[in-house]
Structure 1
Amino acid sequence: MTDILEKPGAEPGAMDRAMVRQMLIENPDWVRRDAELLSHLAGAPDGVADLGRVVRDRLLGEVRDLKEQHRTLAYHARENLALLARAQSYVLSLMSCADLDELDYSLAWEAPSALGVQTARLYLEGATPMIVSEAIHPCGHGLVDELLGDENDFTGACAPRTGRTLYGEEMGSHALCRIEASGRTAMLALASQEADQFHSGQGTEILNFVARAVERLITPWLKES
């Protein structure tokens, strides 16, 4: 019997051909999964247009694209689950805040790493509940409506002027969420220097989850102030 493994260029004998044929019949996926082998086996004679090969090549390209899309979706799904877990843990930590001072510290120093952002800010319209603060700031009436319009939240690019106004420096993108607390309008703002971290059409469930927790916390504190 010809050793076709050691002499791949040799003409296989009848027994070798029969063996290979039987193996391929029993294991057709060996050929289907090997795009290069499949292409050679289905190739057309020289000078003959092979429309079938064109279609197969196109289908193989589409399969590769679908696999890449699947990998991308799986990656983003894992990232979202990890972010959700961090957000839940952060919200639980918020429950231990006893007053606005502790909330201010948490937003300034704990929220960025927990939520994967550069900066976290809370703006209160027409209220100055703290003399000195790092993350909780007063703002004029109408600022939230100016930035959000009729929407409850926003994710997308951060204009240079907006970045300097809200965060003291230019940011690539940010996420904003409206808060209503003790009859006052407020806004939670999360910003990143990465332009693609927040984008239009992005899901805002985690953002709203954190915003609603902050809303419940500050409502009684604002009534007292």
Structure 2
Amino acid sequence: MTKIEAELVQRWLNGWTAARSLPEAEPVEPAGYGLRSECDQPGREVEVFALRADEEPESVAQLAAAVAAARRTTWLTVPTLRPRAVEAVVRAAALELLHRSEWFMTTDLTEHPQHAPAAPYEREVRTEGPVTAVSFHDSSGQVAARGTIAVVGTDAIADRIETDAAHRRRGLGRAVMSALAEAAAARGARTGLLIASEEGQRLYSSLGWRHEADVLIARGPAVPSHR
């Protein structure tokens, strides 16, 4: 593969916004270069996602310039097979590089391995609309690990997979992913999509998730708030 397809990135974004109850992302002009999401978080008010970084490299420079000039604090997320070239572009635009080693990953959910944690952990699964949340609780009832997955058509987008530091190395991350995949497949999803942090890459790889592209994340200059 010489590029990551724009359609694949857009499918992930459709699920990511659903998983986080965000408005549907809107096109960034010129049309087709990227999508813009209203995140409404402190220090991350808006996020722009590049769609054609590999097939139209000049599009990254245009998006980076727009992020640098934004009136609200804006992030730029770029899935790419050419991370060094993208890094040079975002630095030239005076953006702050936040993450260099995140991965865009996919899997066939129908072949996802299943794992269950040892006692005393108990699983809770809740579904509301397109989103299923899975959590594992310890014997005191505290949440030891959690994650969510949003089903959009035949895609399922996993997000916010977390294990409490006191409960790591006990198979809970694998158990969360297994439960999420099982729930999504039961709702008709066939393809899993996610963006993996450096910490999560080994876990997802061990479960059969495939690396499709690197993901670089940069931030524009902080914008002072006016009251």
Same fold (TM over 0.5): no
Per chain length, whose mean CA-contact separation is higher, i.e. which structure has more relative contact order (CA < 8 Å, sep 6+)?
Answer: 2
TM-score between both structures, scaled by the size of structure 1: 0.23
The structure where strand makes up a greater share of residues is 2
